[in-house]
Structure 1
Amino acid sequence: MHALRFVVLLASATLLAGSARAEFVLDVQGTATSDGAGGYLYTYTVTGDSANTLYGYYFSIDVPVEIEAYDISGPEGWLVAYEYGVSEKVVWDTNDGFALLYPGDALEFSFRSRSAPGATGYLGVGADDFFEEFGSHAGQVVGPGGTTAVPEPASLSLLALGAVVAAWRIRAGRRSPDS
């Protein structure tokens, strides 16, 4: 009987705690469109989930430091932080209460780059009215340069072993059977 009470109490506490927790979920849709001049226009539509209890005030796209982003734009009231050769991401943020990403709303961010599209990361951050509760949402989306596959150490070891075996067989094959 005590076990049943404990389970009911635990389930009730979980349900109550879950409803009081701050939520911040984003839907981020990215596109890369060739501009016909050797570059790409990267556009991001960021939509706040209608169930969010936080307001979006920060959005960033990862950009490798050696890749240049230019013609950066965002919603009115959002500031941009980016420096080619130094920054590892393009950052937009706002402290304007009228420019926040509200639940159910969508905002558009964009920039241009000469780098071809690949997969890259994004991060969105939200807070409540008093900046006491925070939440974040991260994921992958199309972006300049993106990530490239890096072989795992085990794969590199197998490749090296294969090269050693091949070299040994070639060397062994060059020896004449008379020597």
Structure 2
Amino acid sequence: MMTFPQRIKKADHKPLNDLANELFVRQPARRAWNDEPFLREITIWFLQYIGVGRRAIADRDVASRVVKMAVLKYRNAQRLNGDSVDSYLFAWMEEGSYIFRFDYTDNTGQTWDYLNQTLCEFLDGKEAVICSQNSLDQWTAMERFATRFLRPEYVQGLLDRYRNHAHHGSPP
């Protein structure tokens, strides 16, 4: 089972910074990531997981939505004196968990096993992959996503805050 990376190298920042520039969110992204470096780290890890910055990218649209929505939610929460970190994480989970709502199968019938390999590792070197929607609901996909990318001691509290936020419909 994969574990949270211990160290992000400086060179790992380039694909994330390039994506923020392409999406025209460089300034608010820089602020979010300088204020809360762990937000940068988990976002880099997600981008590495799906293959941004490498040849085998699962879905650049997902990567773009994750970065743009998380950064904009962070900025908006700051403007409204809300919880900017939770706003970033909620958007990051909502958008990023999309990858778990699909099954990825190569032309030999091998299916991606998210517990034992990144999506990038599964896709690497494959010429064709069939992507089909599975029966996973959004909540379960978000739990899977949070568990995959966050430290275990943080997951349940974040999911509880998200559930409370979604139930009340108020910004964090």
TM-score range, shorter chain: under 0.3
| Alignment TM-score, normalising by the size of structure 1 | 0.25
Q: State which structure, 1 or 2, has the greater radius of gyration over its C-alpha atoms.
A: 1
| Alignment TM-score, normalising by the size of structure 2 | 0.26
Q: Which structure shows the higher helix fraction?
A: 2
